[in-house]
Amino acid sequence: MLVHNQKIDKQQKIKNSREEEENYLNLWSYLKRRYPDTDLDSKCFYDLVHIKANLEGPRTLRNYKNEQASVLKR
């Protein structure tokens, strides 16, 4: 039982890692396309989020379903 739980935990960590990397790459590529003059090299995910918020202003969640949220600019 313990081995099975460890295997599930390891699979979940791998899945989370892939999702984090995908989120980072999606945000990075979005910012690079939209703001090509902004220096994004060697920025961490939270720096990219901060840059996006500064460039586009605050946003609020409008709709949340199926683990995806759309946003509405204030």
Nearest-angstrom CA–CA distance, 32 and 13: 28
Q: Structural domain tally of the chain? A: 1
pLDDT value, residue 59:
64
- Note the pLDDT tens digit of each residue in 15-59: 888 888 888 888 888 888 988 888 888 888 888 888 888 887 766
One-letter amino acid at 28 equals W
State the pTM of this model: 0.59
Which whole-number Å values give the CA distances from 45 to 4, 22, 31, 50, 57, in the listed order? Answer: 32, 11, 12, 9, 17
Segments forming the whole domain that contains residue 26: 2-73
